[in-house]
Amino acid sequence: MPATVRRGAVVGAALVITLFGSAQAVFAHGVGGSSDTVGGFVWLGTKHMLAGWDHLAFVGGVLLLAGQVRRAAKLISLFALGHSVTLFTATVADWHINPVLVDVVVALSLVFVGVVGLRGRPKDWTWFAAVVLGFGLVHGLGLSTRLQDLGLPSDGVIPRVLAFNVGVEIGQLIAVVGMFMLGDVLSHYLPKLRDPRLSHGVLVAAGVVAASVLALTSPGEVLRPVRADPAVGACTVRDRTESFPFGGGQPMERFIEPGETVPATSSGHVIGAGFGIVTYRPDLAADQLAQVRTFVTDPAVGRVVGGPVPGQTKALKAVHAYQTAGCGAVDIDAVGRFTRGWFADPHSQHIE
């Protein structure tokens, strides 16, 4: 592979990416779909990156500026490192980041790389590499918000996040190679594409349009502060991100003992019927387990089922159709308030 990237090919590739991106600037590109397998999350990550025009446009702009294969590889590796770190950390730590604000910053990253290109290739690449890494961290937060919107199971989160990230890198590689090849062809037949100012200008325009649309259509969301999740006793309440597949009936017993298993599809049926689910860490002390069992099986509590989840880090988790309460300690009073609040909501009677 030559040490110097062919300018016409890179300009063409960047222009293809940025034109595609500007045409989609007003549309969100969520992950879409779901999967019950780790391998399925590889495909979800690949699919998301191939549709992620803003991420690809930024990569195209960096390639265009780099000019050399070795330098381009280093810069793209830094970008990949950045978004991998925050994708993993934000998802596993269950950070709830303002998605609109993240998307605005991602759009502005296109403006940045376009403006740098219009001013001329940097003489000192150290500061530019640091900024690329910084924007990679922000792009990773955007990927995390998409993945959290998809919903992750309460167990096996880490393998699925890693699989999704692998898919993202595969998608990025496929897109860059594909755009480079297409750009090479287009630049051969359209000599004007060899002028890098054209692609830099399109990058700036695409970023400005995307950021402006986001700011104008969601002005309150852009500046909305990230609020801490409300606490109920020892439990923290947040919007539900866990996904439960449908297809099975309700469990035969309301309380599942440690060591017993229940089909995952039963949980989907329970949620769809407006019930609440209380999951517990299997290694709870006997007295704590007795408290959970008594709560779940109490006829006065109502429509609640409970069971163990291997690998669960929280002592208890209570889940209904819209929210999750994660409890660092066995706080039955807090779980009771959470479930009573749900049953008092008219929506709990009309889920299916």
Residue for token pair 């959970």 = 292
**101 and 11 within one domain:** yes
Task: Output the pLDDT for position 128.
Answer: 93
Confirm whether 307 is domain-assigned: yes
Rounded to the nearest 10 degrees, what angle do helices 7-23 and 53-66 cross at? Answer: 160
The pLDDT confidence band at residue 288, using thresholds 50, 70 and 90, is: very high
Task: Output the pLDDT for position 36.
Answer: 59
Task: Output the pLDDT for position 352.
Answer: 47
Name the domain count of the chain: 2
- For residue 29, what are its two tokens? 């590109």
DSSP of 87-108? HHHHHHTT----HHHHHHHHHH
Confirm whether 274 is domain-assigned: yes
**185 and 58 within one domain:** yes
Q: State the chain's mean pLDDT as an integer.
A: 77
Q: How far is CA 165 from CA 9, 42, 111, 265, 299, in A?
A: 28, 7, 25, 26, 45
Confirm whether 254 is domain-assigned: yes
Confirm whether 62 is domain-assigned: yes
In the listed set 222, 254, 274, which residue is the last one of a domain according to the structure?
Answer: 222
Taking the CA atoms of residue 108, residue 10, residue 2 and residue 175 in that order, the dihedral angle to the nearest 10 degrees is: 80
The DSSP secondary-structure symbol of 228 reads P
Strand order in the sheet with 231-232: 231-232, 235-239, 323-327, 316-319, 276-280, 304-308
Number of H helices, E strands in the chain: 12, 6
DSSP of 155-199? SSHHHHHHHHHHHHHHHHHHHHHHHHHHHHHHHHH-GGGG-HHHH
Task: Output the pLDDT for position 218.
Answer: 60
**250 and 107 within one domain:** no
**246 and 212 within one domain:** no
> Which amino acid is residue 211, in one-letter code?
A
- Residue 231, helix vs strand vs coil: strand
**81 and 153 within one domain:** yes
Structural domain including 165 reads: 7-222
Report d(CA 147, CA 44) in Å as an integer.
Answer: 9
Question: Could you tell me the CATH number of the domain that includes residue 296?
Answer: 3.40.30
**212 and 235 within one domain:** no
Confirm whether 2 is domain-assigned: no
What are 294-336's pLDDT values in tens digits?
Answer: 999 998 887 888 888 887 888 999 998 888 998 988 999 989 9
Most confident of 133-137, 192-196, 303-307: 133-137
Q: Which pTM was predicted?
A: 0.58
**94 and 16 within one domain:** yes
Residues facing residue 307 across a β-bridge: 279
Report d(CA 330, CA 332) in Å as an integer.
Answer: 6
Q: Where are the beta strands (DSSP E) in the chain?
A: 231-232, 235-239, 276-280, 304-308, 316-319, 323-327
**13 and 111 within one domain:** yes
**271 and 198 within one domain:** no
In the listed set 222, 240, 265, which residue is the last one of a domain according to the structure?
Answer: 222
In the listed set 205, 222, 239, which residue is the last one of a domain according to the structure?
Answer: 222
DSSP of 47-73? HHHHH-HHHHHHHHHHHHHH-BHHHHH
**107-119 burial code (b ≥16 CB/10 A, e <16):** bebbbbbbebbee
Mean pLDDT of 259-282: 78
Confirm whether 1 is domain-assigned: no
